[in-house]
Amino acid sequence: MDIHEYQTKELLAGYGVPVPRGGLSYSPEQASYRATEVGGSSWVVKAQIHSGGRGEVGGVKLCHSDREVAEAANELFGKRLRTRQAPAGKCVYRVYVEEASEIKRELYFGIVLDRATERITVVASAEGGVEIEELAANNPGALIRTTIEPAMGFLEFQARELAFALGLAPSQIAKASQLFRAAYRAFRDLDAAMLEINPLVVVADDDLVALDAKMSFDDNALFRRPMIAELRDRSQEDPRESHAADRGLAYVGLDGDIGCMINGAGLAMATLDMIKLAGGNPANFLDIGGGASPDRVFKAFRSVLHDGNVKVVLVNIFAGINRCDWVAKGIVEAFAQIDVQLPVVVRLAGTHVEEGRRLLAESGLPIVTADTLAAAAEKVVAAAEIGTRAAAATGS
């Protein structure tokens, strides 16, 4: 789960990371009031969306009066910002007003979980403000990595070494090392999956400040971090994914036109590959999990259809703990309750498969069945192509 910049800054400040003074607003009037509250003579008005790269697309505006602040906020509210990280765009409903900082140096500081070493890894660079992916591709030598031993934590000497490696002045070393370790404590204590301060800036008096901050959390740990779970902002999520997640279903939205209902992530990956191989494009995949009841299958089926991009549906179940007869019952139930206008291809294998196939055959529903995954993929791709041609012919 991702959270907003202002939320990340509040969390980090609680752990002792210096951040600029700022206030959140939901309207232009409130934004100018916040500017007065924050004080000073210049402010930065920042669109709060779950994406970086806002600066490049007008999502970060420098202002010199409270009127300018109100105008900048007015321009941002309700706007869909299309960034490099979120090409489809994210809508702005909250704006953060911050005292403007005078930047002397921009650095990069991040914390990630490195799956290869199974360790939390700190990544830093003297080249801040640039996207880390870009840096890793164009100038990997500029990245400094520090591996954290879980039993020891982020040790002071490691933090100091990092500060020296970034070329910080002696008067900045202690401040930097405190900041790094505070950020690490926040990451570890809150079950974060990623933390990024980009840029981390050096300002007047050799102080360091987190000018931009981003954090995301392990969804599987949210149950023990209710305060973090509260920070969720649905307006920033893919509505297809949150709709399914609310029903306890694992759903991934893609950009093709074939809706997929599958059991297990491994089979889902294989199915997506087979669809691609047959020349088609998946719109999504929904994992019904293990031991899915007919009701759960029905809800899953409805969630797949909920996606407006779906033109055909493929159900691919290799039942172990699952039962093909329950899956079939769920599908029949879906046809009974929803007006299903789309072609549906079903491939069932495993536990209670005869019973499952019998239920589908006896239902008299226009369901295309397949015995193997390869056959199912070919049939569903053919159905999608027929649909596309028919739409082209009727001009719809």
* Helix, strand or coil, per DSSP, at residue 205: helix
Q: In whole angstroms, how close is the CB of 244 to Mn ion at the nearest point?
A: 30
For residue 22, state whether it binds ligand GDP (rule: CB under 6 A).
Answer: no
DSSP conformation class of 25: E
User: Do the Cβ atoms of 318 and 349 come closer than 8 Å?
Assistant: yes
State the binding partner of 153 from ligand GDP, Mn ion, none, CB within 5 to 8 A by kind.
none
Sequence-ordered alpha helix ranges (H) in the chain: 5-14, 28-38, 66-76, 132-138, 156-165, 170-189, 226-229, 239-245, 265-277, 294-306, 324-337, 353-363, 373-394
Q: Which member of 5, 106, 127, 196 is catalytic?
A: 196
State the binding partner of 18 from Mn ion, ligand GDP, none, CB within 5 to 8 A by kind.
none
Determine the Cα–Cα distance for residues 136 and 142; give it in Å rounded to an integer: 8
DSSP track, 290-338:
SS--HHHHHHHHHHHHHSTT-SEEEEEEEESSS-HHHHHHHHHHHHHHS
* Of the candidate residues 3, 31, 44, 360, the single one contacting ligand GDP (CB under 6 A): 44
* 108 catalytic residue (yes or no): yes
Q: Of 316-345, which residues contact ligand GDP (CB under 6 A)?
A: none
Rg (CA), the chain: 26
Q: Of 172-231, which residues contact ligand GDP (CB under 6 A)?
A: 199, 211-212
Q: In whole angstroms, how close is the CB of 346 to Mn ion at the nearest point?
A: 47
Binding-site size, Mn ion (CB under 5 A): 2
State the binding partner of 60 from Mn ion, ligand GDP, none, CB within 5 to 8 A by kind.
ligand GDP
For residue 106, state whether it binds Mn ion (rule: CB under 5 A).
Answer: no
Region near Mn ion per CB under 5 A, out of 165-173, 194-202, 295-303, 351-359: 194-202
Between 55 and 153, CB nearer to ligand GDP:
55
User: Do the Cβ atoms of 235 and 93 come closer than 8 Å?
Assistant: yes
Determine the Cα–Cα distance for residues 225 and 219; give it in Å rounded to an integer: 10
Determine the Cα–Cα distance for residues 106 and 127; give it in Å rounded to an integer: 7
* Of the candidate residues 13, 24, 38, 100, the single one contacting ligand GDP (CB under 6 A): 100
For residue 2, state whether it binds Mn ion (rule: CB under 5 A).
Answer: no
For residue 198, state whether it binds Mn ion (rule: CB under 5 A).
Answer: yes
* Of the candidate residues 24, 30, 38, 53, the single one contacting ligand GDP (CB under 6 A): 53
Determine the Cα–Cα distance for residues 342 and 323; give it in Å rounded to an integer: 24
Determine the Cα–Cα distance for residues 217 and 194; give it in Å rounded to an integer: 7
Q: Which member of 6, 96, 108, 251 is catalytic?
A: 108
Between 212 and 378, CB nearer to Mn ion:
212
- Smallest Cα–Cα separation from 177: which of 156, 195, 194, 198? 156
For residue 89, state whether it binds ligand GDP (rule: CB under 6 A).
Answer: no
State the binding partner of 100 from ligand GDP, Mn ion, none, CB within 5 to 8 A by kind.
ligand GDP
Q: In whole angstroms, how close is the CB of 199 to Mn ion at the nearest point?
A: 6
For residue 54, state whether it binds ligand GDP (rule: CB under 6 A).
Answer: yes
Region near ligand GDP per CB under 6 A, out of 54-62, 163-171, 280-288, 323-331: 54-62
User: Do the Cβ atoms of 98 and 18 come closer than 8 Å?
Assistant: no
As annotated, the active-site residues are 108, 196
Residues that bind Mn ion (CB under 5 A): 198, 212
